Copies of this chain bind each other. A is one copy, B any other.
């Protein structure tokens, strides 16, 4: 291997690695060879390789996990939290192919939390929809939604066909709805969640709880969404309104 003079070798190695990544030799999420192997390939000391990796880590191209290896950083999806956030629109807007499939649906009595969020009371039946959202076949989120059962009877069938809650709601005459507010927490995933997201048990999930309301202010959906923290970051754009 010949090195250009006048530029640090680690910088040149960094460029080589970057080419391998952009060229597709190492794909997002994939493990790079060990530092020793890379050092052998370029005929340099391991420390030189580490400098290159450190620079690429700083630039968010690589991610190093002690004891495991070096990985190509997955491109994280910026998920805006607005009052008109629609999953499919966001993903398509990023030139990625959205998909959302139903995992399970059933009708049950609402518990206290669901009742409160849907602004209901008494013994009320709700439809519980579980779904997994993907972009380019990679799982991004696992959601549980609750809708009033009387108003949206049979919505799970339409949801399965259209793969979109927005579309399904249209069939019930709901042309428009907005998000009231969103609560954000972080937790370790339970087994079910980490399996759906195909994400390590040791990586946390970002959880949003939100309520959608129709134009009359009636609650139509209470949703709990578990985002794979590895692949999604939430984003709040603050409108510059001075009160």
Residues of A participating in the B interface, judged by any CB pair closer than 8 Å:
58-59, 76, 78, 81-83, 111-113, 178-188, 202-206, 229, 233-242
Task: State the number of copies, please.
Answer: 2
Contact of A206 among B82, B83, B185 (CB under 8 A): B185
Are A236 and B182 also in contact (CB < 8 A) when A58-B112, A83-B241, A112-B59 are? yes
Chain B residues closer than 8 Å to A180, beta-carbon distance: 238
CB pair B181 A235 closer than 8 Å: yes
CB pair A184 B206 closer than 8 Å: yes
Contact of A187 among B178, B184, B229, B239 (CB under 8 A): B229
CB pair A204 B187 closer than 8 Å: yes
Chain B residues closer than 8 Å to A78, beta-carbon distance: 183
CA separation between A233 and B186, bound complex, in Å?
8
CA separation between A178 and B243, bound complex, in Å?
11
Chain B residue at smallest Cβ distance from A55: B112
